Structure 1
Amino acid sequence: MKQKKSVSNMKRRAADTLEKPRQLIQGSTRGINLEASVHLPSYNASQRTVERIRQRREVSCPNPSSVADINIPVALQVTSRNLNFLLWDSGQNDPHRIFMFGTKENLEVLEEHRHWHVDGTFKVAPQLFLQVFTIHALVDNRSIPLIYVLLQDKREETYVRVFQKLMELKPTLNPISCLSDFEKAIQNVVCQVFHGVQVMGCLFHLGQCLWRKIQELHLVEEYRNDENVRMHFKMLLALSFVQEGDVITAFEELTESCPREIDAVIDYWEDTYIGRQRRNRRADPKFPIHVWNVHDRVHQGLPRTNNSVEGWHHAGKHGSKIHGW
């Protein structure tokens, strides 16, 4: 009797949830004693059963041709603990339709833990959407994913809607810091919605920006073959660790010894991260020094990069199958 109940429970969960097969099978057989477990199907047989059920489910749920046609089954709007997971659907009449997922508990964690990481990934986004945008909180020095948003674009107006809805759902949210990549639209909106928040750029992404510029200016060979060129590029990135008030002086000293071949990179860095010298003052850079400088973060024990978030996205890519609805 227990064996039949276990198999029936497994089949139901295969049809109604998105649990991974291993988690689903183990959960369905939990509590079965050793004597009864002998009569259960093997793990491989159970896994094939789960896969067949889910293949039939996908056939019966054809992919929508537009965002207006998306209809998330009620069973997929809740967690395995039967908690509401769909926080917001902007509606079928919205051409820029947005879905926000999370739980009330997640919002409470986001309120309590006020150092946030945000990032978007394109590799696991379902059809009709450009990215899965996630909001994480730093809990006991671990980045925990809490809010998941399906977005069709990267427009600033879209991010405004996301963070305003977040505030509508939990008006007491008040982050101290928000770490992101160097996407200006995200940083602008975070500052606009959460007054006083410290916006921080990811050091890893800063290095990527520098490397892309090196590639764009066809300086890869010089970087690889000329030790002096390579050292000056590394010193540019190392400005991130200089005390904020000393960065401009350090940059000016660095430029005095730079080889002429990298003048274009120096110009890019000055315009984007330092501020071009204009008579007696410097113009505002695209990304102010306090955004990309990590000196204080090191002393405060805060992360310098979003690598934990990137790692989570990487795991999501390899642990899930990209499909429609």
Structure 2
Amino acid sequence: MDIAVQRVPGKRAGSFIYVTEDNYIFHLYKERALRCRKHKHYACLARLTMSGERFLMKGHHTHANEENEIARIAVENEHPNAVIGFGPNLERAIQRARRRLQPAIPHSFDEAERTLTGSDMYRKTLDQSADFFHGRVSTDTGNALIFISLALLPLIRTTREIRSVGTFKTVPNLFYQLFTLHVLAYGKSFPVAYVLMSNKTADLYRMAIDRILQILQEVNPGDQFEVEVLISDFELAIMGTMQQAIPNARSRGCWFHYAQAIYRRACKEGLQRAYRSGGVIRNIVKKLIALALLPSNRAYEGFQTIRHRTENALLAENPQSRAGVARLFQYMGGYWFTNQGPERFCVSGDDHRTNNEVESFNRWFNARCGPHHQNFWSFIQHLQECNENTERDFIAIRAAQQIRRPQRLVNKRRDRNIKTLTELLTSGAIQIYEFLDVADEFFEPDQLDRTVDGLARPAPENDDLEGQAGIAAEEQAPVHRQPVRRRRLSAENVDEVPAIRRRGRPRRILIENLNEGNEPLRPPRGRPRQLRIPGGAFAELAAAELPAPRPRGRPRRIPVAAAAALGVVEPVIVAPAVVEPVIAAPPVVAADHHDPQPAHICDICTINPKNKIFIPCGHMVCHQCAEQLERVARNLCFYCRTAVAQIFNYFP
């Protein structure tokens, strides 16, 4: 099909974009071939073939046209030298002008309800076509304001999945969280109700859900629900309330949050370093995560299989790791199998195993609101805009338009593999341990620490059950704490920081406190110095002795006590090498000044006492591990991967 195309100057000098008569933008990617500008984001298959002055259209667009973007580009091309000044002063002036148009900020729930009820601007939707605010519910300890999309509310009766989630990053000061209900329609998730809550109790959740169902009965009378699955993030109050409201549906949690809880518990038990080293502990943690892919009636069988199959391999681990794994098994049996139950964490047979799409909505909404808590009226306006966008997306998807990014190929491939693996297990072609051996590669929990906002509520806080597997533990009321940015290592895996006294430029380490911790000092600025051998190449330490490096300027010194009290301190030079031989286990050193105490044992080999200190990071190891560093010659600290300039002997 021939189509009229106009060539327009692009952003870069000498570049061009191609605008079609139906307001779509194309880019040239071959000599005579063009593709839609949104071919990646929306998987758009529309293409243009250029033949002289003619353009032949192939395929169809999967998104709306870009009329507004084309108009913006035209204005920029018409006024290329126009300068638009927008600084902090202008931004603040705009905020003041907007604030003058808003009512007074409410300081109580009664005032907020009264102002919302009397203002059509905030009580109705953004286009003023329907009511958006639907009243307030209260308990003895909390209050909640209900906002509902009447256009999407009837979907609750016909959807097969209802998802619920809360966020608290940008809510007004009167409230604790924004609780949202989402329904699944046309393969996508749409929010239908927004609840501003002052606290999180089962009674307040129950009253909010009852009000939403009451409005549903008024809009769409009937008693029929087709809901099969209720998905949340293992918060007992939400799961119990949703189960009571729709008893015929199955209430379960999110596989992503379950995996996060297992991995964080392993880190809490001191297994993070062993997990990253590989071996049996990594195998155990990943197979415990894969238990959720089993049918609920076979999950406990899989748990026992993991324990029996790894029993002999655990004998080769150190006592601390074995004790940590035992506590991890105890937590798994006491909390997940007794308190939650396999029916709540198993996702076998479900098309949607996680709540990630709803968590993505939270991230989008919080980013739209900004980095801070909003004032009450600005937050209501953001809710109105969110509701308008959602209703517009629903209309677009019913018109066969692409509204969101399609699923990635790697995720589609993983879904197919999980489905095939489940069918093989059901038919008896493979055993449970074979299933877990393959399924443990479908999820890598060590990447969870890089996520901040989306993992605000990964798991309930009352999962610290110490009972044996199979013994019911007393169910506690869920307690939620405000999320904070987590450090890379959990608190259990970080040693205490040695005392550091800073006076002027030099850094001084108190030798008497070195035995109390192994926390690295701040690395020096700039690139680390490297030792060079004449000839421009590095050589093996075994082949030739390296000359001592020529000092440059005044050397940095670490003051220590007198030699008579602390022993002799002598430097050892470390240089990089090309060959990396296999590192053998360090032998046990029999001769020593005294029997090493547990705090003095090297953390690398867990055998010999610490008698070497890395400079400048301040970490301590035994002399055998220090020799391994010299032999491998990577010149990096085992703990913090900081470049090691020198190694000093330390005699306690």
Same fold (TM over 0.5): yes
Picking from 169, 176, 180, the partner of 2:228 is 176
The residue that corresponds to 2:329 in the other structure is 266
| 2:105 paired with 1:63 | yes
Q: Which amino acid aligns with 1:237?
A: I
Q: Could you tell me which residue of structure 2 aligns to residue 223 of structure 1?
A: 275
1:280 corresponds to: none
Q: 8 Å contact 2:266–2:285 — kept in the other structure?
A: no
- Which position in structure 2 is the counterpart of 1:112? 158
Question: Take 1:194 and 1:103, find their aligned partners in 2: how far apart are those partners?
Answer: 20
Letter in 2 for 1:147: A
Deviation at 1:89, TM superposition (A): 2.3
Equivalence for 1:87: 134
1:235 partner letter? K
Cα distance in 2 for residues equivalent to 1:107 and 1:265? 43
Deviation at 1:207, TM superposition (A): 1.2
Q: Calculate percent identity across the aligned residue pairs.
A: 22
The separation in 2 between residues aligned to 1:120 and 1:169, in whole angstroms, is 21
Q: Are the equivalent residues in 2 in contact too, given 1:90–1:97 (CA < 8 A)?
A: yes
Give 1:62 shift.
4.4
Q: Which has the larger radius of gyration?
A: 2
Give 2:252's aligned residue: 200
Cα separation, partners in 2 of 1:63 and 1:267, compared to 1, 3 Å? same
Structure 1: gaps spanning 5 or more residues: 1-25, 28-33, 275-284
Q: Taking structure 2 as the reference length, what is the TM-score of the superposition?
A: 0.39
Letter in 1 for 2:329: I
Compute the displacement of 1:67 (Å). Answer: 2.5
Contact kept, 8 Å, 1:64 with 1:324, in 2: the verdict is no
Aligned 8 A contact 1:201 1:291 in 2: yes
The corresponding residue for 1:281 is none
How far is 1:156 from its partner?
0.7
Counterpart amino acid of 1:68? D
* Offset, 1:94: 7.6
Q: Which runs of 5+ in 2 are unaligned?
A: 1-66, 69-73, 315-321, 377-652
Which residue type is aligned with residue 352 of structure 2? P
- Give the structure with the larger helix fraction: 1
State the Cα deviation string for residues 220-260 of structure 1 (Å, max 9, x = none): 22222242111110000101112222212111110121532
- Of 293, 299, 304, which residue of structure 1 is paired with 2:346? 293
Kindly indicate whether residue 360 of structure 2 is the aligned counterpart of residue 308 of structure 1.
Answer: no
What do the CA deviations read for 1:50-88 (whole angstroms, capped 9, x no partner)?
Answer: 985553232564433333332334202212331211122
Do the aligned residues in 2 keep the contact of 1:187 with 1:199 (CA within 8 Å)?
yes
- 1:96/1:224 CA distance change after superposition, 3 Å: same
SS at match of 2:126: coil
Contact 2:143/2:204, CA 8 A, preserved across alignment: no
CA separation in 1, counterparts of 2:182 and 2:235?
17
Mark the CA change 1:250 to 1:161 in structure 2 (over 3 Å): closer, same or farther. Answer: same
Aligned residue type for 2:208: V
Counterpart Cα distance in 1 of 2:359 and 2:305: 34
User: Quick check: 1:272–1:286 contact (8 Å CA) kept in 2?
Assistant: yes
Inter-CA distance 307–43: structure 2 relative to 1 (3 Å threshold)? farther
- SS across alignment from 2:154: helix
1:157 counterpart SS class = helix
Tell me the equivalent position of 1:131: 177
Distance 1:124 1:290 in 2: 34
- Which moves more between the two structures, 101-110 or 60-69? 60-69
Query: Which residue identity does 2:334 align to in structure 1?
Result: D
SS of the equivalent of 2:349 reads: helix
SS at the partner of 1:255? helix
Cα pair distance change 1:201/1:69, threshold 3 Å: same
* Secondary structure of 1:105's aligned partner: coil
Amino acid at match of 1:207: A
Distance in 2 separating the partners of 1:229 and 1:111: 46
Please tell me the residue identity of whatever aligns with 2:232: S
Q: 2:201 and 2:284 mapped to 1: Cα distance?
A: 35
Look up the SS of the partner of 1:138 in the other structure: strand
User: Which letter maps to 1:234?
Assistant: K
CA contact (8 A) 2:165 2:179 kept: yes
Structure-2 change in CA distance of 1:186 and 1:45 (3 Å):
same
Distance 1:69 1:218 in 2: 50
Aligned length: 276
Q: 2-side partners of 1:241 and 1:112: how far apart?
A: 27
What is the alpha-carbon distance in structure 1 between the residues aligned to residue 231 and residue 170 of structure 2? 21
**Which of the numbers 301, 305, 308 marks the counterpart of 1:249?**
301
In structure 2, what is the Cα distance between the partners aligned to 1:134 and 1:312? Answer: 10
The 3-state SS of whatever aligns with 1:273 is helix
Q: Is the 8 A contact 1:67 1:95 kept in 2?
A: no
Q: Output the amino acid matched with 2:327.
A: A
Q: 1:166 to 1:263 in 2, by over 3 A?
A: same
Aligned to 2:265: 213
- Considering Cα pairs closer than 8 Å and 6+ residues apart, tell me whether 1 or 2 has the greater RCO: 1
Contact 1:135 1:145 in 2 (8 A): yes
Distance change in 2, residues 1:140/1:76 (3 Å): same
Task: Tell me if structure 1 keeps the 8 A contact 2:263–2:285.
Answer: no
